[in-house]
Structure formats: structure tokens, C-alpha cells
């Protein structure tokens, strides 16, 4: 379904449900991350790209302090909850807009009641930040309809806090920041400590292809929070000899080599991934600026091997997709994107070889796992906006 069709879908469903036109329509994109995985909650560097797959929200304010929400992708399921107090968590999709209400109250901001219908073509559980797209779209809508204004980076921080403290997933800032502040045609270099952002044009003649393994995982119930705890443990131990460090972002590879014997083996491997992944982000930025796509691709593959071996967040399906991708002529590199444990891989490939890549990935995956991955081309898109 095209983005124009998604717009029409939510508008028509809103009119059918609430018998009037919506006041506004909001879109907030999902993302892929070119490089910098599991570095964001370690105060490190990431390079995400907002994509042309998004959450779409048709919404109007109401005079009553209630939210009535219909999720078209959940069979038209509805949630109704108060916005003048903290709504109770019941699990499921409604916790994400409820989390935004909670975060607004924490900021002493008063959200208005709303009627809303939403739909999304960001795959759920695929590592493309479907939850951040929903959070940012609702946060933006409440901002526009209520009597307050937030800068987009501040909106991203609010949405991150909502997911951390209400939903219970200790994600970093990357997903919400790129959904809020993406730029058409560009990838973002984000310093997750200072929130300084830089933008890099994506090279012409190159496609970013996403292959969805269809293996799904729930971040809240996965090893994600365990990995974060292990990184914090590494910092706590290393601070005995590096008292100035606050996060693994402050540790360089040479320091980790000399002090790594202090860490339990599994904690050392987690730290080694993060420290070297931060270095890879800087290397990819330099290579992109110089147009050195072969170097970029090599670094993507190195990053995948580190995620597989040191951070242990890959899966056989993801490894198979990466291995199959790099067999194709015109493929520069591939790696898993997102938190891992399932989801997607990204492939940097010459546009002329996209058809061959798709065919090879599909046939190899069918041969190994008796099912077909979803393969599609993504384009760098703008962040959240009113349409």
C-alpha cells in the first residue's frame, strides 16, 4: 500500500467512525540503522535513516478528557482511556499512546481528549522502530491539538521516556530521534549523549534494501534489557581504573584491550562490541563522505559479525540473509538492523542489482527455512509531519 493510500485509509476510516473529517493527519516514519547498533543506550554514536514506511494518524480534539483510538491494523480494535489522569497499562498496542499521556503529565503538560484512527506499514517486531513511529505520531498530534509546543528533539526525548518508564523497554534515543528529525535523502549521524545531529546524503545509484526474516521478538521480554545491564556492569568495573568514564562511549579500543581482563568474559564481549561499533560509525561517516562504498560495506559486515559473536543478538535466519546478500554481485555489505533476536537485515547494493538480490535472497531463504522473506527497497524520508 502506498503512502497516499495509507493517508486515504485512515481519513476514510476516521470519517466512518466519527462522522466528521479529522482536524489533522500525522505521519511518523520508521527507520533502518545503517551502523551503530546497541550504542545509543551507551551514550554512543548511531547512523539511522528514516524510511518511507510510517505510522499514519487521523485525529481530532474533543471537549471531553478521553481518548478514543481505533487501530486499523488490529482488526479495528478500540481503546478508550482518560487523558486528564494517568491511564492504566493493560499491555498491547494501546500502551504506546497511553505512555505519551503519562509522559506529558510528567512534564506538567495537559493533553486534550482526542478521537483518532491509525494504521502503519512499519513491520511490527522487525527492528524498524514501529513503536517509536506510533509514539512520535501521537506525541506530535497531542502537541498540535493541545496548548503547548515542543521542539522536535524534545518530542523525541519525551517519547523515549514514555517507552522507558511506562512501557518498560530501556531503549536509547535513536529510534524516536530519527522518527522525529529525519531528513529526506539523508542518513543522520547522531551523538546520543549531546544529541548533536549531522546529515549525510545517501549516494546516488545505491539502494538500501531491507529483508525481513519474519522472525518476531518482543523487546520487553527479550535479552535487550539484559544487554543494557551488562554494559552498565562493564562501566562500573572499568571505572576503578578509568574514573572519568560515564558510559562505554568513553572507552577506546586500546583501553579495553589493556583492562579487559578485569571483566567477566560475557561482559567483555558485550563491551567489545559497543566500543568497536562506535569506532565503526565514525569510519562509515568518513567513508560515506568520500564515496568509498566498498569500505562502508565492509564495515557493515564487520558490524554484523560483532553483533552475532560478541553481542549475541543475531539469529540463524539473519545470518543466512547476510551471507546470501554478500554473494550477489553489486552488494557492498549487509548486516542485521535493530535490536536483533529476529527482524530485518539491511543490504547496501547497487540499484542495477536489486532484482538479482531480491531473487537470490528469496530462493536461498526458501531453501533453508521453507518460507520467503519480505524484501523491499527503502528510501530516506523526512521525520514526523502534518500531512
Instruction: Give the residue numbers marked as catalytic.
Output: 175
Residues, the chain:
387
Q: Is the CB of residue 139 less than 8 Å from the CB of residue 132?
A: no
Number of C-alpha atoms within 13 angstroms, CB side, residue 233?
16
The residue assigned the cell 543506550 is: 41
Residues of the chain by 3-state class (helix, strand, coil), percent to 5: 45, 25, 30
* Grid cell listed for 238: 572499568
**What one-character-per-residue DSSP string does 250-296 give?**
G--HHHHHHHGGGS-HHHHHHHHHHHHHHHHHHHHHHHHHHT-HHHH
Hey, what's the cell of 332? Answer: 557492498
CB 384 within 8 A of CB 136: yes
The runs of H, that is alpha helices, within 149-223 are 152-161, 174-181
Amino acid at each position: 500500500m502506498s503512502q497516499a493510500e495509507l493517508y486515504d485509509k485512515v481519513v476514510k476510516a476516521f470519517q466512518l467512525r466519527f462522522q466528521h473529517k479529522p482536524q489533522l493527519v500525522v505521519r511518523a516514519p520508521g527507520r533502518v540503522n545503517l551502523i551503530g547498533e546497541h550504542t545509543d543506550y551507551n551514550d554512543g554514536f548511531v547512523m539511522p535513516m528514516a524510511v518511507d514506511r510510517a505510522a499514519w494518524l487521523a485525529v481530532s480534539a474533543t471537549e471531553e478528557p478521553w481518548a478514543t483510538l481505533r487501530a486499523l491494523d488490529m482488526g479495528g480494535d478500540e481503546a478508550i482511556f482518560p487523558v486528564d489522569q494517568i491511564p492504566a497499562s493493560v499491555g498491547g498496542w494501546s500502551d504506546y499512546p497511553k505512555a505519551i499521556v503519562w509522559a506529558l503529565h510528567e512534564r506538567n503538560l495537559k493533553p486534550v481528549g482526542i478521537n483518532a484512527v491509525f494504521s502503519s506499514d512499519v513491520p511490527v517486531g522487525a527492528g524498524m522502530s514501529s513503536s517509536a513511529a506510533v509514539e512520535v505520531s501521537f506525541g506530535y498530534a497531542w502537541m498540535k491539538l493541545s496548548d503547548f509546543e515542543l521542539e522536535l528533539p524534545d518530542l523525541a526525548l519525551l517519547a523515549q521516556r514514555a517507552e522507558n518508564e511506562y512501557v518498560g523497554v530501556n531503549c536509547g534515543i535513536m529510534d524516536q530521534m530519527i522518527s522525529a528529525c529525519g531528513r529526506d535523502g539523508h542518513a543522520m549521524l547522531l551523538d546520543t549523549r549531546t544529541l548533536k545531529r549531522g546529515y549525510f546524503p545517501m549516494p546516488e545509484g545505491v539502494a538500501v534494501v531491507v529483508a525481513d526474516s519474519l522472525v518476531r521478538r518482543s523487546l520487553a521480554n527479550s535479552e535487550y534489557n539484559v544487554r543494557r545491564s551488562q554494559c552498565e556492569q562493564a562501566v562500573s568495573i572499568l571505572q576503578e581504573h578509568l574514573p572519568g568514564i560515564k558510559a562505554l562511549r568513553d572507552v577506546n579500543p586500546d583501553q579495553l584491550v589493556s583492562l579487559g581482563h578485569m571483566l567477566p568474559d560475557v561482559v567483555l564481549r558485550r563491551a567489545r562490541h559497543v566500543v568497536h561499533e562506535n569506532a565503526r560509525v565514525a569510519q562509515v561517516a568518513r567513508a560515506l563522505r568520500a564515496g568509498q562504498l566498498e569500505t562502508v560495506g565492509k564495515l557493515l559486515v564487520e558490524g554484523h559479525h560483532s553483533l552475532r559473536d560478541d553481542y549475541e543478538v543475531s539469529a540463524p535466519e539473519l545470518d543466512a540473509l547476510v551471507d546470501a546478500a554478500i554473494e550477489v554481485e553489486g552488494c557492498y555489505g549487509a548486516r542485521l538492523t535493530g535490536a536483533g533476536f529476529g527482524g530485518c537485515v539491511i543490504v547496501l547494493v547497487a540499484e542495477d542489482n536489486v532484482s538479482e538480490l531480491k531473487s537470490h535472497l528469496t530462493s536461498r531463504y526458501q531453501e533453508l527455512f521453507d518460507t520467503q522473506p519480505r524484501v523491499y527497497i527503502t528510501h530516506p524520508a523526512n521525520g514526523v509531519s502534518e500531512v
